[in-house]
Structures are given as structure tokens and as C-alpha cells.
């Protein structure tokens, strides 16, 4: 049985749980991080010395970094779903996965901390505005790509979509004044039609 360490409402944990659900792989999930704490527990730090979630336990094999866990699950259990062997399509998927982790995660994280997890009276509007501007700049890039292809992964749903959509869910639901990004919105609608996305990603934001 695979074990996923990490609270269910973390965007990075959601990627892993969503991937497992898409692939129909049985797993157990353990709440840790956020209000559950325990990220500095020596046993957890032994598994993931970064003290962040998610972390995957597959027997005696331990893996951290959400996008890498998704890659591992797809390679081990995906049997050619959610991925492709065509080298160009493959590295387009990899490109978007790295792009979400290297660029988008940081301002989304800032938005969650500054807006969702900070009481209104204590919010720093300048920090929120900076995060929103950066998210907007980045999502325009994804919107442009999605004007040319159905999914971020190309013609078919795949790993790049799993890497992006859990970050879009809080943005769409928390930010009231958003720019018009019709291609991104069309794509996001497709995500919301997936039962595994509804089950794992579309939960209370906190
Ligand atoms: N690059 C890492 C980032 C992991 C990360 O920063 N996770 C956040 C949750 S999204 C975390 O552990 N936050 C502390 C907490 O939840 O208490 C990954 O993709 O796995």
C-alpha cells in the first residue's frame, strides 16, 4: 500500500492524490503539515529532510517533490496513460511541470499565506497585489499555450495538467477580480468535469 504524507488541502499534496485517483491506485493518506503540524518530527524529517509535504512512501522507497512523485507514479503505474513516448510531446509536458513548480508555486503560496491565511485587518495589500500581478503574468503564458492545444499536456490530459490545476483552483475561487483568460478558463472547466479532480482538488480552501 502506498502512503502519502500531507494534509489534503495542500495544492502540492493534491497533485499526488489526484494522480493516484486518476490511475486508480489504492493508497493511504496521513494528515501532516498545516494545522496538523509534525513537519519537524524527527521521523518525518528522516523521510523528507526539507520538512515539507508531500512525501510518498512506496515500501522502503521514499520520494519527495510533488511533481517528481507524479512522474514516478505515472511511470510505475500509468501504463502509458497521462504520458507519451514521443520525445517532443514528452518534453513539452516536462517543461510545463517545471514551469508550474519553478514559477507559479511561489506567488500562489504567497497569495494563500497573505490572503487566505491572514485575517483581513492584518493583510498586506502590497504583498497581495505583487503576488496577483505575478500570477497574472504567468497565467497569460499558459492561456496563450492553451489557445493552441486542448490540454496543457497537449492533445490529451496528462501530467502537466495535474501539475497546474491544483494551483488554479484557489486562484479562481479566492480572487474575485481576475483578468480575462478564456483559454485557461475553458481548460479549467475540463478539469472540473473530472471526478478525481472534484473529489481531491475541489475541497474547502483554507
Ligand atoms: N517543491 C515542493 C514544495 C513543497 C511545499 O512547499 N509544500 C507546502 C504545502 S503546499 C508545505 O509543506 N507547507 C508547510 C505546511 O503545509 O505546513 C513540492 O512540490 O513538493
Shared-domain flag, residues 104 and 65: no
| Angstrom distance (rounded) from CA 72 to CA 42 | 25
Q: Which three cell numbers stand for residue 47?
A: 523521510
- List the CATH number of the domain containing 97: 1.20.1050.10
Q: Which atom of ligand 1 is nearest to the CA of 67?
A: 19
| pLDDT for residue 166 | 98
Q: In terms of domains, do 89 and 20 share one? A: no
Together in a domain, 13 and 55? yes
Cα gap 191→135, rounded to integer Å: 19
Instruction: Please state, in angstroms and rounded to a whole number, the distance separating the CA atoms of residues 76 and 62.
Output: 14
Q: Please check whether residue 182 lies inside any domain of the structure.
A: yes
pLDDT at res. 81 = 85
4 and 91, same domain (yes or no): no
Q: Residue 139 — very low, low, confident or very high, per pLDDT cuts 50/70/90?
A: very high
* pTM for the whole structure: 0.97
Q: Is residue 95 part of a domain?
A: yes
Residue range 37-65: mean pLDDT, rounded: 98
**What's the whole-number mean pLDDT along residues 143-150?**
98
**Do residues 34 and 102 share a domain?**
no
Distance, CA 10 to ligand 1 centroid (Å)? 7
Report the pLDDT averaged over residues 67-73: 97
- Find the mean pLDDT for residues 182-197: 98
- Asked whether residue 206 is domain-assigned, the answer is no
Whether 80 shows a pLDDT value over 80: the answer reads no
How far CA 158 is from CA of 35, 67, 121, 153, 163, in Å, comes to: 31, 12, 41, 5, 9
**Pocket residue to mutate for ligand 1, from 13, 52, 167, most atoms within 8 A of Cβ:** 52
194 CA distance to ligand 1 middle (Å): 24
Using an 8 Å Cβ cutoff, are 61 and 7 in contact?
no
Task: Determine the distance separating the centroid of ligand 1 and the alpha carbon of 51, expressed in angstroms.
Answer: 8
pLDDT over 70 percentage in the chain? 100
Q: How many Cβ atoms from other residues are within 10 Å of residue 45's Cβ? A: 13
In a domain, 200, yes or no: no
Pick the closest to residue 28 from 36, 20, 40 (CA basis).
20
Q: What is the structure's pLDDT at 12? A: 98
pLDDT at 84 over 90: no
Tell me, in angstroms, the distance from the centre of ligand 1 to residue 148's CA. 31
Domain final residue pick, 35, 53, 76? 76
Q: What is the mean pLDDT of residues 135-139?
A: 98
In a domain, 199, yes or no: no
For ligand 1, whether the C-beta of 12 sits within 6 Å is yes
Q: Which of 57, 76, 95 is the last residue of a domain?
A: 76
Same domain assignment for residues 63 and 123: no
Does one domain contain both 28 and 123? no
CA of 54 to the centre of ligand 1 (A): 7
The verdict on 65 and 101 lying in the same domain is no
Q: With a 6 A CB cut-off, is 53 part of the ligand 1 pocket? A: yes
Q: Is any atom of ligand 1 closer than 6 Å to the C-beta of 33?
A: yes
Number of structural domains the chain divides into:
2
38 and 72 share a domain?
yes
Do 68 and 100 lie in one domain? The reply is no
Name the percent of the chain lying above pLDDT 90. Answer: 96
pLDDT at 51: 98
Rounded mean pLDDT of the chain?
A: 96
Contact 143, 182 (CB under 8 A): yes
Within a domain: 205: no
11 lines ligand 1 (CB under 6 A): yes
Q: Are 91 and 62 in the same domain?
A: no
Q: Decide which of 76, 96, 130 is a domain's last residue.
A: 76
Tell whether the torsion through CA atoms of 83, 23, 194 and 7 is positive or negative: negative
Q: What's the domain range around 39?
A: 1-76
Confidence of residue 92 (pLDDT cuts 50, 70, 90): very high
Q: What is the CATH number of the domain that holds 62?
A: 3.40.30.10
How far away, in angstroms, is 64 Cα from ligand 1 center? 10
Query: Per residue in 5-16, is it b (16+ CB within 10 Å) or e — as a string?
Result: bbbebbbbbbbb
Residue 125 has pLDDT above 80, yes or no: yes
Amino acid at each position: 500500500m502506498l502512503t502519502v504524507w500531507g494534509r489534503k488541502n495542500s495544492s502540492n499534496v493534491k497533485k499526488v492524490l489526484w494522480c493516484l485517483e486518476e490511475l486508480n491506485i489504492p493508497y493511504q493518506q496521513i494528515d501532516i503539515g498545516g494545522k496538523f503540524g509534525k513537519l519537524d518530527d524527527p521521523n518525518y524529517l528522516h523521510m523528507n529532510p526539507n520538512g515539507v509535504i508531500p512525501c510518498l512512501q512506496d515500501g522502503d522507497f521514499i520520494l519527495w517533490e510533488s511533481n517528481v512523485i507524479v512522474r514516478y507514479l505515472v511511470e510505475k503505474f500509468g501504463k502509458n496513460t497521462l504520458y507519451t513516448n514521443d520525445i517532443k510531446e514528452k518534453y513539452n509536458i516536462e517543461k510545463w511541470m517545471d514551469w508550474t513548480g519553478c514559477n507559479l508555486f511561489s506567488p500562489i503560496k504567497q497569495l494563500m499565506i497573505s490572503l487566505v491565511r491572514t485575517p483581513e485587518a492584518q493583510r498586506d495589500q502590497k504583498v497581495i497585489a505583487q503576488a496577483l500581478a505575478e500570477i497574472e503574468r504567468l497565467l497569460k503564458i499558459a492561456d496563450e499555450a492553451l489557445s493552441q492545444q486542448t490540454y496543457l499536456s497537449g492533445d490529451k490530459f496528462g501530467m502537466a495538467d495535474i501539475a497546474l490545476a491544483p494551483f488554479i483552483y484557489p486562484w479562481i475561487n479566492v480572487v474575485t477580480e481576475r483578468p480575462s483568460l478564456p483559454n485557461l478558463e475553458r481548460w479549467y472547466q475540463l478539469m472540473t468535469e473530472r471526478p478525481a479532480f472534484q473529489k481531491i482538488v475541489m475541497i474547502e480552501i483554507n
